[in-house]
Amino acid sequence: MKRKYYQREVIKMSCVMDVAEILDLLYKHGWDERNGGNLSYLLEEEEVRDIVKEEVTLKTFHYNFDLTPLIGKYLIITGTGKYFKNCLKDPSNNLGIMKVTDAHTLSLLWGYDDGGRPTSEAPTHLKCHIERLKVDSKHRIVIHCHPTNVICMTHVHDLDSAHWTKDLWKMQTESIVVFPEGIAVLPWILCGGEEIGEATAYKMKEYRSVVWAQHGLFCTGRSIDEAFGLIETIEKAAEIYIKICDKKIYQTISDENLQLLAHAFNIDYRKGIID
């Protein structure tokens, strides 16, 4: 009885509800169809205080790479094969609260009630958290989704990161403001494997967003709002590109305009693209 009460109380936690609500929103935007996409969220100490009081390991999951930088940290991670549309109404089956207990182990403290396990992309998420924390101590979230227009662009645009960055900066005034470091783009690589995880984490040393060709987008941030806003802005710019890429262009944002914008807003943008 005590455990059931504890489960109900965890569901009410704001961090769980915040994650469930953003997953529902991602689904409603059409960016996470079926069981597509995944999310991991680093929890602050005050968010897990009640969990720690009754910390019970329900199950452990082992990985063959070094998790040492994350030892002692807690995360909410979406389950493998789970549909984002179900997370808000049934978080305890679709989400798990995990603790990194040693250099190779995640311990499940809550969730996956139906016997599930973390997303198959968990290694990529964990590696991205490690790299982002090296450059931003306030980093907290990784979201993987399948925005339609971003995927469309990977079919009709070259996969050079600098070219993508410049073209999306030019699509709308806010682009360079929201993602001044640019966007990294990877060619098609088998998902769920070690190669794509390593490649994505490597790009995360310099970028908060990484495009997977013909697949989707990985975005990170200091908060759910920041990461979601990054996805929204990139997808909006990609949508504009797809709508106009085959049309005659009469005017656009020039390199000089972008430089002026960056100076006016004191933006430290990636050099070598519009300079």
Catalytic machinery residues: 121
Q: What is the DSSP letter of 224?
A: H
For residues 176 and 270, give the distance between their C-alpha atoms in angstroms, rounded to a whole number. 9
Residue 138 neighbours by CB distance under 10 Å: 10
Question: Which residues contact residue 233 at a Cβ distance below 8 angstroms, ignoring those fewer than 6 apart?
Answer: 174, 175, 178, 179
- CA-angle at 157, arms to 201 and 248, nearest 5°: 145
What strands lie across the sheet with 105-111, from one edge to the other?
Answer: 59-62, 105-111, 95-102, 74-78, 38-42, 141-145, 216-221, 209-212, 184-186
For 86-147, where are the alpha helices, taking DSSP H only?
91-94, 122-135
Q: Residue 57 phi/psi, 5° resolution?
A: -80, 120
Cα separation, 230 vs 139, in Å, equals 14
Q: How far apart are CA 168 and CA 175, in angstroms?
A: 7
Cβ neighbors of 79 (< 8 A, separation 6 or more) are 93, 94, 95, 96, 111, 112, 116, 117, 118, 119
Output the CA torsion 7→12→14→15 (10° steps).
30
In order of 64, 78, 84, 85, 95, the CA distances from 20 in angstroms are 29, 10, 8, 9, 8
